[in-house]
Amino acid sequence: MAAADVHQQAYAALARTHRGRPVAEIVPLLRAAADRALLGFTGSDLVEQAQAISSGAPYELRVRVTG
């Protein structure tokens, strides 16, 4: 399974279980998922994702793989 797919699954799971939770609670969970998937998201990327999860806003996760 591709790294982006691993993170997307983790994101979807957090979106189901953490809506309405504080962003500060979600960011470390996203960081751990990104680390497991070996994705180098910036802190602002993770905050943006966490804000979408917390608010329930639609969010399109886009990952560009280089190498």
30-66 confidence digits (pLDDT tens): 999 999 888 889 999 999 999 999 999 998 877 676 7
Q: Which helix (H) or strand (E) holds 14?
A: helix 3-17
Q: How far apart are CA 1 and CA 8, in angstroms?
A: 11
Provide the whole-model pTM.
0.87
Domain that holds residue 12: 3-55
* pLDDT recorded at residue 67: 66
- pLDDT tops 90 at residue 15: yes
62 in a structural domain: no
15 in a structural domain: yes
64 in a structural domain: no
Domains held by the chain: number: 1
* pLDDT recorded at residue 47: 96
